[in-house]
Homo-oligomer: A and B are copies of this chain.
Amino acid sequence: MGDPAGIGPELTAKAWAALHTTGPHFLWLGDPATLPETTPTKIIAHPNEAAETFPHALPILPIPLTTPATPGHPTPANTHAITQSIAQATALTCAGETAAVVTNPIAKSVLAAGGFQHPGHTEYLAALCNIPGKELMMLASPHLRVVLVSIHVSLRHAIETLTTERIIATSRKTADALKRDFGIPHPRLAIAGLNPHAGEDGLMGLEDREIVAPAVEALRQSGIDATGPLPPDTMFTIDARKTYDAAICLYHDQGLIPLKTLDIAQGVNITLGLPIIRTSPDHGTAFNIAGHDKADPSSLIAALHMAATLATNRNRNPS
């Protein structure tokens, strides 16, 4: 569902319109009253009805809102419905009734005012799956995949908490996910440096030599094809991108600047490290344009395609 006052309902209707003849098929957990009136919908009782329904109507497992949604005006009163949508989708997927969870955007501050205790989707899903703190964020577009060693912390905190162990753990989970979910038998990882020119032999900071290089060495010794620490400014050029399957980035903007600079529309957020497949569009609730039929569904459509691909691969390559 995502926040029903954001662009989620509109994007869902557009994604169904774009995919209903081709698939992949999906069902929606939300309140039918929030969808555009022109979208054909059908209330279903069980996920196994979704496939046959999808070509004709958007299949819905209804979750009624507490308060009617007004586009652009979110309310904490609907916090329970929003979080129920996430929890039910996760439960269905854990039970094998659905293949993956795709989440529409939520607004942290709105949910927090409604009593929600988690910083965001990713952390809530990790808690629902009983693996808090083990989740990883990958952002993927047709041009680039990046995985973040630290996410939503200050740049100073990202530097202070950077350790060899965190880089190794992030890289290992990434390599596992690339094999199992992306179908890449011998994944190549590019490990970013922290400082300009990856420190240039210690002239510009010691972290690259003392923290990052030992991680790369340990990964290589354990048989993972890791290269680095790489100068951050040249590792995302068109030629450099051909040499690896994922970039391990040491702070939020090191990974998200190149990804969004290259392709804001088709970026997909993928949570690695969960027992289930979960993707989401790489944008927010966009309350400022909600209800105006302006929202671009490209990222949600890409997230749906990605979820289907990952689920297919994981079935082929069970761990």
Identify the A interface with B (CB < 8 A).
151-157, 159, 194-197, 199-200, 203-207, 232-234, 236-239, 251-254, 256-262, 264
Contacts and interface: CB of A to CB of B under 8 A. Distances in A.
A233 B252 contact: yes
Q: Which of A153, A157, A196 has the most CB of B within 10 A?
A: A196
Contact of A258 (B234, B252, B261): B261
Contact of A205 (B154, B204, B236): B154
Contact of A156 (B159, B197, B239, B254): B159
Contacts of A199: 154
B232 A195 contact: no
Contacts of A258: 257-258, 261
Q: Which of A159, A197, A204, A259 has the most CB of B within 10 A?
A: A204
Given A157-B205, A233-B252, A264-B238, A196 B152 contact: yes
B264 A261 contact: no
A260 B232 CA distance: 10
Contact of A194 (B152, B155, B200, B206): B155
A204 B236 contact: no
A234 B260 contact: yes
A314 B200 CA distance: 36
A254 B2 CA distance: 31
A236 B253 contact: no
A154 to B, nearest CB: 3
